[in-house]
Amino acid sequence: MNPVLAPGAWVFVTLPDAAPELLAAALATFREDEGLTLVLPQGLAEAAGLAADMPMARIVLTVHSALDGVGLTAAVAAVLAAEGIACNVIAAFHHDHLFVPEIRAEAALAALRRAQQQAGAAP
């Protein structure tokens, strides 16, 4: 998996629609029936007057993951769930991006690295 903690704090917000400057700054967007979800830098969301009360850290799994791969998300979720760490996963073309509560970022990273080491040590 090769997890790496990316800099910055991110927040998930939802709006009926977004101004161009918010769209341009969004790390990710997803349109749902209820509105447009944006993953924004926390400071930008706060400056725009949006709720930013759940800052998330982003852990990037730097291994190139396949869109048709089976089991990576489940394995990561199991590792973090065992530690009581919430996780939102966004699978992009090259990598999976894990959003965990900012205050648990180091614990999440440590748990993922332990799991990676244990998997590498398995026969």
**Looking at the 3D structure of the chain, how many domains does it have?**
1
- At 123 the pLDDT is 52
Contact 18, 36 (CB under 8 A): yes
User: Residue 99: which CATH number?
Assistant: 3.30.2130.10
Give the predicted TM-score (pTM) of the model.
0.91
Q: Which residue carries 């509560």 as its tokens?
A: 101
Segment 20-68, tens digit of pLDDT: 899 999 999 999 999 999 999 999 999 999 998 999 999 999 987 777 7
- At 1 the pLDDT is 83
Parent domain of 108: 3-121
Segment 11-33, tens digit of pLDDT: 999 999 878 899 999 999 999 99
